[in-house]
Structure 1
Amino acid sequence: MSARPAGNAVVVGSGPNGLAAAITLAHAGMPVTVLEGAPGIGGGTRTEELTLPGFLHDVCSAVHPLAVASPFLATLPLHLHGLEWVYPEVQLAHPLDGGTAAILCRDIDETAAGLGADGAMYRRLMDPLSRQWDHLAPDLLAPLHFPRYPLQFALFGMKAVLPAMLFARLAFRAKPARALFTGMAAHSFLPLNQLLTAAFGLLLGSLGHTAGWPVAKGGSRAVTGAMASYLRSLGGTIVTDARITSVRELPPAQVVMLDVTARQLAELAGTLLPPRYRRRLQRYRYGPGVFKVDWALNGPIPWTAEGCRKAGTVHLGGTAEEVARGEQEVWRGVHPERPFVLLVQPSLLDSTRAPAGLHVGWAYCHVPNGSTFDMADRVEAQVERFAPGFRRLIIARHTRNCAGYERYDPNFIGGDINGGVQDLRQFLARPTLLSPYRTPLKGVYLCSSGTPPGGGVHGMCGYHAATAALQDQGYLEP
């Protein structure tokens, strides 16, 4: 490391990526101030009493395999700042009609045993990925570059680039394994006949065995709460209720890190940006939004399938074909009658989430970007389909549509919580091809989920953006 030049940094946004950028800069000795427009920190990792007093609901993200597996977050002593992970007995369950369910356990052999004739193929797919995760993670969760372990990366890429439905048909013979895989692939928010969607199924499946799918004790706010506490221990400052509407409003700084997506950068910087770059930002595409329901419940959800009663996360969508059909309808602008629903039951693991004997439930489905359609009945019908009697347990509910999510966090444009479409085109250019974090403005960088590696609570976008800034400013060797 070269001699440290004098200078300071301002970070706009206190989500995981903004805080990761701030911590990276502070590690290098740069004074850092984080400006957060909301009254509290967190971005997509806030926890609030959305229904009734004493019921703690994660407003956006709830389950965090990527946070546990993040090469950057793993280096931070967040456990000393209040972060505690709680793991379910079953990481994920995907029920099917008839009372059965495919389940994802930490143990690969246990998972494979539940998949019958497809168990051997599942083991052959996931075992190498799980064993090689520490080698693959720094390359997978990074911008385009020559990988450190090119052979392992290439072998993963040959499978990952395939459409999820094609991959599921080629790899598995029976409904349970196909459903389990396509449900994980549907986290991509993409039609499952598109290239690269298999990557999400492979990645999330292998993470179930390496990192697990835990929740944070006390709610997802504990993740950014611990990051903020650690940043302050490094001398960093966080200012809330400090909304920025133009880069001209920012205090003088050697480095400015913006935890915003492409369209927001175009609005914040306006004519300060070269016209060609601004047009590129304006062409950046946003994907489906979400409709979310939170419930205060009078008891645990009465799943028919035993595996669902032990799972932290439950995917509701029936067969692989039904999941794919619902996701395709969303991309056509249709609200599915039977949506694919991602459901979390955190109070099964964490007793701090609800009063004694009571529970909370968290669920969302994908909807067309900008939708204001009320999907609550359709979401609850999917739960009732696999857990008869569920509706009788509801004490109170809270719903939020796409418009509500964009008001909650300006990064969620049209309700897109992923920071933009994560298809092959925007995997390669997010938002630009050769320099995703640097902008044409001197000392100004993007550090949001609109940069590689994209959505998820992992902090890697912020880490990579801050590393680029430190190299440019002479704190690190390129």
Structure 2
Amino acid sequence: MVGSGPNGLAAAVVCARAGLSVQVLEAQPTIGGGARTLPDPEFPGVAHDICSAVHPLGLASPFLRAFDLRARGVTLRVPEISYANPLPGGHSAIGYRDLDRTCAELRHGSSWRRLLGPLVEREQGVLQLLLGDRRSLPSDPVAAVRVGLRMLEQGTPLWRMLSGADARALFTGVAAHAISPMPSFVSTGAGLMLATLAHTVGWPIPVGGSQAIVDALAADLRAHGGTVTAGVEVTEPPPGVVILDTAPTALLRIYRDRLPGRYANALRRYRYGPGVAKVDFVLSEEIPWRDPRVAAAPTLHLGGTREQMAFAEREVAAGRHADWPMVLAALPHLADPGRIDAQGRRPLWTYAHVPHGSPIDQAETVTKVFERFAPGFRDIVVAVRSTPAARMSEHNANLVGGDIGVGGNRLVRALLGPTPRLNPWTTPIPKVYLCSSATPPGSGVHGMAGYNAARTVLRREFGITTPPDLSPAQ
């Protein structure tokens, strides 16, 4: 296994539990890929999540649900507010875990209920459709029809059918996690799944940071005979069966002339999407929001109205910096007070959407966005740790140009993988497979790409047709 992100470790756990000898190699000095947590260089009592901080799929992903993080000692706290979207003028749209409360506080709550109520009723069918392997028939045809109709509505210019500026902004902020021009089927699919989960299992935050999820996966792998070695960059083809939790273009560097010509050319043509610039803050106290309800929201979408967010995403997709970019933020200490150090300092996690490979530091831009909704924010900033999109790959080689979707956030790739193949986790190289976010079902800490790749490997290479039990008791 090359790469120790959540998908890589998921694949490793499945293979080790099936009785295979598994070795995981990680280039970074610490394991976890997109789910690492590291101490602040100046204030070690404050820890920053390097990529992901909040985990809507931590309790819902079929792989993680079977793995059962809570039974393994990982505390996942589910806040009352899943996310908040402050709006110009001081009003905010709040997505509570309670659907009724959400609708009651929105000025156009009936529109929100029409969009999401029928999906909340059939959550498992929605998840199976949007997190499935893209090759199986829907287990819940009613859920599939409901999702399909909403995809056609919110993924096309018909998205104006969602009434009210507050409801529109609330959904658009969630859909923007896909970092895709809007409206689109990719952003709408992400938005429908994440918003549905917000009203069912909620958006959990792991106590101690995202690293807790990674550590639980690694512990299970080791308990079943696997090994994990950090600080080892793979530059030559490893022996045996190989699963790569890497960007697809990494195969060009590792396999070179062993790649079939057509596949090599396809990888050379592979295009990554817009990037994110990461800005981590250390704060001295709570943020002084104009709308006090926002103070209880661990996850924030700070792009303004639907129209402003859609414009910013179009600018970024066209290679231009938006004056007001889409900013996603998280305050994990609101669910996990242990993230506050002895002096009262606490972390603030943010991303700003920017063009692919942007070298521009976004710290001041993000600060100004916060000042729009929380005047005086600048005064509580103790430290800023900023990583432009062009340097995100220094933390994780998969994030080429800052693209946290690894190029997979496009409709064709979401369905077929990085190159069109009947099985998107395979490659034309014998015994070599892919399991990163470039393969279905795409980005997110869910482990499903790794799980699906491992199932393919077990069946094709070892004749094992039944995946192993993932429960902690086994």
TM-score (normalised: structure 1): 0.93
**Match in the other structure for 2:248:** 262
Q: CA deviation at 1:265?
A: 1.8
Letter in 2 for 1:458: H
Mapped contact 1:298–1:359 kept (Cα < 8 A): yes
Q: CA deviation at 1:165?
A: 6.8
Letter in 2 for 1:132: R
Q: CA deviation at 1:368?
A: 0.6
Letter in 1 for 2:382: I
Q: CA deviation at 1:366?
A: 0.7
Counting only pairs closer than 5 Å after superposition, residues 147-226 of structure 1 correspond to structure 2 as 147-162=138-153, 164=155, 166-172=157-163, 174-226=164-216
**Match in the other structure for 2:329:** 343
Matched, 1:303 2:289: yes
Higher deviation after alignment, 73-82 or 362-371: 73-82
Counting only pairs closer than 5 Å after superposition, residues 88-103 of structure 1 correspond to structure 2 as 88-103=79-94
Change in 2 beyond 3 A, CA 1:168/1:309? farther
Counting only pairs closer than 5 Å after superposition, residues 102-141 of structure 1 correspond to structure 2 as 102-116=93-107, 118-141=108-131
**Match in the other structure for 1:458:** 446
Structure 2 unaligned runs (5+)? 468-474
- Structure 1, residues 147-167: CA drift from partner, whole Å, max 9, x if none? 223342133123224554735
Mapped contact 2:178–2:186 kept (Cα < 8 A): no
Change in 2 beyond 3 A, CA 1:71/1:393? same
**Match in the other structure for 1:52:** 43
Q: Distance in 2 between matches of 1:177 and 1:63?
A: 22
Change in 2 beyond 3 A, CA 1:298/1:156? same
Q: Distance in 1 between matches of 2:223 and 2:132?
A: 27
Change in 2 beyond 3 A, CA 1:151/1:348? closer
Mapped contact 2:118–2:146 kept (Cα < 8 A): no
Mapped contact 2:127–2:193 kept (Cα < 8 A): no
Higher deviation after alignment, 142-151 or 442-451: 142-151
Matched, 1:272 2:258: yes
Secondary structure of the equivalent of 1:428? helix
Q: Distance in 2 between matches of 1:28 and 1:109?
A: 44
Matched, 1:437 2:425: yes
**Match in the other structure for 2:463:** 474
Mapped contact 1:78–1:230 kept (Cα < 8 A): no
Matched, 1:318 2:308: no
Change in 2 beyond 3 A, CA 1:168/1:231? same
Structure 1 unaligned runs (5+)? 1-10
Mapped contact 2:125–2:138 kept (Cα < 8 A): no
Q: Distance in 2 between matches of 1:150 and 1:239?
A: 44
Mapped contact 1:296–1:395 kept (Cα < 8 A): yes
Higher deviation after alignment, 157-166 or 390-399: 157-166
**Match in the other structure for 2:347:** 360
Q: CA deviation at 1:177?
A: 0.5
Mapped contact 1:373–1:401 kept (Cα < 8 A): yes
Secondary structure of the equivalent of 2:94? strand
The alignment-based identity, stated in percent, is 45
**Match in the other structure for 1:414:** 401
Mapped contact 1:289–1:371 kept (Cα < 8 A): yes
Q: Distance in 2 between matches of 1:303 and 1:166?
A: 33
Q: CA deviation at 1:123?
A: 1.4
Q: CA deviation at 1:138?
A: 2.6
Change in 2 beyond 3 A, CA 1:336/1:300? same
Letter in 2 for 1:303: W
What's the RMSD between the two structures over aligned residues?
1.7
